Amino acid sequence: MTVRTAAAAPSRPALPIADVDADVARATSTGVGEFDRVLGGGLVPGAVLLMAGEPGIGKSTLALEVAARAARAGHTVLYVSGEESAAQVKLRAQRIDALAPNLFLASETDLGAALGLLDQVNPSLLVVDSVQTLASSQIDGAAGNVGQIREVASALIQAAKANNISALLIGHVTKDGSIAGPRALEHLVDVVIQFEGERHSRLRLVRAIKNRYGPTDEVGCFDMGDTGIVGLADPSALFLTSRDRPVAGTCVTVTLEGRRPWLQRFKLW
């Protein structure tokens, strides 16, 4: 049996290209300069980002920072946490100074309920922490399996595109470094951001590995500390201390990360 798709009435007519409104696709600053750098200017309305990284690296912290900055800039922001209770997220917000009046917070693991919240709050930025913790009751299987992740992502993408909402989806990577479940989303989302860093170091690198709106060779540098995550416009300062005289047994090297050169000091013995 052959299945054929019948022509239907279009929801929007095709326009002469000169009449298309391009302003709706312009990036607006997130208020976090190093994040804007990675995104190629900022967040685009209707754009869906996947931010992937290992547990504990700082994804929730950066997402909350971006959410608070956007809220302080006048946007309505909805932060849906499936990982932590609202009280836990509030404690983090207090610690990193992210209590903003237009920032709405909900702890939710049901996709349908999250979409309901989206209708209620009508935000311009949505943060979902994480895609692996939401699940649809219409799909078999537990939260986090590939079928669920795909359903969660496609429903959120559809909602974001229909309402011009920027969405930031957090995804966990597995220990071997692949974005396990979330890797199945890479072709669905507009931007994929990878969070990198070592446990013993405060330096965090954030790079775009896919970006429909900007370059993919930019790297954002952050300092992860007790009071939050702070952009490092000059990462060399983290490695170099100013000394009057050269120190025997050390050398300074220049490395290039994406488009950014920086200086690092090493001990030779």
Ligand X SMILES: Nc1ncnc2c1ncn2[C@@H]1O[C@H](COP(=O)(O)OP(=O)(O)O)[C@@H](O)[C@H]1O
CB 178, min distance to ligand X, A: 16
Contacting ligand X (CB under 6 A), which of 35, 49, 60, 98? 60
Q: Which residues partner with 223 through β-bridges?
A: 203, 230
Residue 261, interface with ligand X (CB under 6 A)?
Answer: no
Site string for ligand X, 98-137 (x = CB under 6 A): ----------------------------------------
Residue 133, interface with Mg ion (CB under 5 A)?
Answer: no
CB 195, min distance to ligand X, A: 7
How would you list the strands of the sheet with 103-107, edge to edge?
A: 103-107, 77-81, 125-129, 166-172, 48-53, 191-197, 203-211, 219-225, 228-231
CB under 5 to 8 A by kind: which of ligand X, Mg ion, none does 226 bind?
ligand X
Q: What angle do CA 83, 62, 59 make, to 5 degrees?
A: 45
User: Phi/psi class of residue 148: alpha, beta or left (left: φ > 0; alpha: ψ in -120 to 50)?
Assistant: alpha
Contacting ligand X (CB under 6 A), which of 53, 171, 220, 231? 53
Q: Which of 166, 161, 148 has its CA nearest to residue 82?
A: 148
Q: Please say which residue, 171 or 235, places its beta carbon nearer to Mg ion.
A: 171
Q: Which residues from 211-240 bind ligand X, rule CB under 6 A? A: 224, 226
Residue 175, interface with ligand X (CB under 6 A)?
Answer: no
What is the C-alpha separation between 103 and 135, in angstroms, rounded? 23
Residues near Mg ion (CB under 5 A) = 60
